[in-house]
Amino acid sequence: MEDKIALLGMTLAELKTVAGEIGMPSFAARQMAEWLYGKKVASIDEMTNISAKNRRLLNERYTVGCAAPVDGQRSADGTVKYLYRTAAGGYVETVYIPDGDRATLCVSSQVGRMNCRFCMTGKQGFSGQLTAADILNQLYSLPERETLTNVVFMGQGEPLDNLDNVLRATEILTADYGYAWSPKRITVSTVGLRKGLKRFLDESECHLAVSLHNPFADQRALLMPAENSYGLREIVALLRGYDFTHQRRLSFEYTMFEGVNDTPAHAKELLRLLDGLECRMNLIRFHPVPGVDLKGTSEEGMLRFRDYLTGHGLFSTIRASRGQDIFAACGLLSTAKQQGVEL
């Protein structure tokens, strides 16, 4: 039997096509969208304002396409890491991070990818793209979904390398027929794929976070092989052509490693590189990864680095570490699952 097609992840235009194929009136597309993105039903049979005949016809070819997490780990600080199985059979992680009146979900966009030296996800190798349904299911089937205030595309994978599906997901999250979220509630993180970056900036109003990690090209390439193809200076030059002084925010991610990227020379080069660009710097503590010979910068060193940057006009913050008592680093839980490790 042919696999059924997921309705989850379809835009309003795509749902109109489905309605037309079934012989349903065009307004049925909005009805389906409301059941999916408003009421978040688990089955087509729950779409009770669609006739029984049309629900039967829909069920013959389509399914909602949602699936609950297959595993999870809960931290003492409230952070929860969930493991989802994709439609293609891979595993991806989602991290739920409550913080006072905010609750952020860190979602994945690919299974594996960029092979950054300090990231466990890249060490899995590339297994495939997530569909828009796979991406949205991480929100749709989240046990805490009603508490969410923000979504960050900072989980497994490179969002701009799966841009069609990421843009489809962000459209649904922000459209009036979908979740109707403000783009200010969504941040997309990237190593900086130039072609995808330009398209994202032109087509989306969501916040942007660029993984920087070292301002010197040769040193950045040792941490992030993508530097060899998509140079940081070229990325910054592109960013200077866009306006980040209003609602859209630009930030840079900077994981700090002792003796690798935390010296005064690195701080001064960051100031030179980003001079005049409206942005902020997020300094990140390194979560140890098996087999990686890097050590995180001390707390004192991070504070000194932060204060130097902020004192010279580059506003910088240190991201709070969460989930340290579980598989906190991105890719650890899914790697364990794939290797058959008891969780």
Cα 117 from Cα 104, distance rounded (Å): 26
Report CA-CA distances (Å) from 254 to 67, 173, 201, 285, 293: 34, 27, 21, 9, 18
Instruction: Name 85's bridge partners.
Output: 91
Given the residues 46, 146, 330, 342, the one annotated as active site: 330
**List of residues 6+ apart from 180 with CB closer than 8 A:** 174
Cα 84 from Cα 137, distance rounded (Å): 9
Would strands 186-190 and 150-153 be described as parallel, antiparallel, or unpaired? Answer: parallel
Beta strands in 107-149 (DSSP E): 110-111, 128-129
Is 119 known to be catalytic?
A: no
How large is the greatest C-alpha to C-alpha distance in the chain, in angstroms? 69
Cα 210 from Cα 243, distance rounded (Å): 15
Is 93 known to be catalytic?
A: yes
**Would you give the distance in Å from CA 261 to the centre of its chain?**
25
Given the residues 66, 93, 227, 279, the one annotated as active site: 93
Q: How many Cβ atoms are within 10 Å of 238's Cβ, its own excluded?
A: 14
Would strands 150-153 and 128-129 be described as parallel, antiparallel, or unpaired? Answer: unpaired
Question: φ, ψ for residue 255 (rounded to 5)?
Answer: -75, 130
- CB 36 within 8 Å of CB 180: no
- CB 181 within 8 Å of CB 191: no
Cα 152 from Cα 159, distance rounded (Å): 11
Q: What is the DSSP letter of 57?
A: H
Cα 210 from Cα 301, distance rounded (Å): 22
Catalytically annotated residues: 93, 330
